[in-house]
Amino acid sequence: MSNMPFEIGKKAATRDAYGKALLELGRLHPEVVALDADLSGSTRSEYFAKEFPDRFFDCGIAEANMAGISAGLASCGKIPFMSSFAMFTSGRNYEQIRNSIAYPALNVKIGASHAGITVGEDGATHQCLEDISLMRTLPNMKVICPSDATEAYKAVMAAYEIEGPVYLRLSRFSTVIAHDDSYEFRLGKGEVLKDGNDLTIVATGLPVPASLEAARELEAEGISARVINMASIKPIDKELLIKAALETKRIITIEEHWITGGLGSAVLEAISEDAPVWVKRLGIPDVFGESGPAAELLTKFGLDKEGIKKSVKDFMNS
């Protein structure tokens, strides 16, 4: 019987997977320690804290200090997983991550929960839409944005094996689980969910299921869309992207992030020299988010199934 705590077809948030995977890593590896910034109930690091109180450190509302402590623990041979909201992990303590963790390439894993507009009613101040951009520009940093709880669980387990700093982008919003226990996360590799010849949809994180659903409906309307789940933002699967660009001639990127500096920018950088084709970026435009239910915000910014279908059709007709 599988040990996977998530079932295909059920709903869960990727932050739940982070907490459960962190707990499992704690049971398997005594050198794993966890840190949080007074948000363990939200980030789900509380699972680890309850079972391993001597290996859990609540740093209070002091993310910059937490980054420094994590760096110190890593330099002593521990493998720290530090957790907070994405807005605070990537924003409030960017300098500390840059200089204390990424620069010396220390083995610190960053669990960044509540990313994107699906934080919902917390509003623009808490809707982190720039974290992929900030983290992927740092040398030595790996950036992972899983699409469902199973992929998140596997990615957290893989992060333990990856040498050096890793940024894990996680969600508050629960979504349907599409991957079963046979799925294996591979750093630097994309996942082809559907083949197609007219264009390629490259999506990351929460918009992946909606992108696949949209592509299946578009097939019935005569548009053959290839769908790639790109959970590994850095390193990105350049080979797969170039192949898709050469074969389908058009790419649309879909992300719950500002279109500046995120997945769309990473894809453009990957293909521009070897396979320059038409690329459309779908995400949050150059505006801040706003308070509202998560599902309504996804609709507002065109990141639900119908919005993705419309963007694809407009792109094909342009």
Question: What tens digit of pLDDT does each residue of 30-73 get?
Answer: 999 999 999 999 999 999 999 999 999 999 999 999 999 999 99
167 part of a folded domain:
yes
Task: Kindly state whether residues 206 and 296 are assigned to the same domain.
Answer: yes
Let me know if residue 211 belongs to a domain.
yes
Same domain, 152 and 201: no
Specify whether 167 is located in the same domain as 309: no
| C-alpha closest to that of 282 among 261, 313, 303 | 303
Q: Domain span at residue 250?
A: 191-316
Lowest mean pLDDT among 4-13, 157-166, 170-179: 4-13
Percent share of the chain, pLDDT over 70: 99
Q: Is 49 in the same domain as 125?
A: yes
Assess if residue 154 is contained within a domain. Answer: yes
Residue 4 lies in a domain: no
Which of 149, 176, 203 represents a domain boundary (last residue)?
176
| Catalytic residue chosen out of the listed positions 24, 46, 63, 130 | 63
What pLDDT band is residue 3 in, cutting at 50, 70 and 90? Answer: low
pTM higher than the cut 0.75: yes
- Whether 63 is catalytic is yes
What pLDDT is stored for residue 83 in this prediction?
98
Residue-averaged pLDDT of the chain: 96
Residue 317 has pLDDT above 50, yes or no: yes
Q: Tell me which residue of 11, 58, 19 sits closest to 168, measured CA to CA.
A: 19
**Per the domain annotation, does 182 fall within a domain?**
no
